[in-house]
């Protein structure tokens, strides 16, 4: 999927981001300052072993959290224009 997006999206308009890289590449791409806060990290594997709500409840929580993070990034990008 990444290769297809890289082929279709104009260079400079796509960030292929690894959360292990932290704030710097994301903020540089969005042309915003790096926050003075620890980058939020989520270890889904460890969380799954702790989770007691079952796989469906876990999937709902997991994808809700990621949707909120994506929405925040998109809002940040939209506000930077």
pLDDT band at 15 (very low <50, low <70, confident <90, very high): confident
Place of tokens 């980058």: 39
pLDDT per residue as tens digits for the range 27-45:
888 889 998 888 876 665 5
Contacts 24+ apart (CB under 8 A), 25-30: 26/73, 30/73, 30/76, 30/77, 30/80
Q: Is the pTM of this model over 0.85?
A: no
């Amino acid at each position: 999927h990444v290769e297809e997006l890289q082929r279709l999206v104009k260079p400079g308009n796509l960030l292929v981001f690894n959360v292990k890289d932290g704030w710097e590449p994301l903020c540089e791409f969005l042309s915003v300052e790096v926050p003075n806060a620890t980058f939020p990290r989520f270890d889904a594997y460890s969380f799954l072993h702790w989770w007691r709500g079952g796989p469906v409840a876990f999937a709902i929580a997991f994808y809700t959290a990621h949707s909120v993070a994506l929405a925040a990034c998109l809002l940040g990008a939209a506000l930077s224009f």
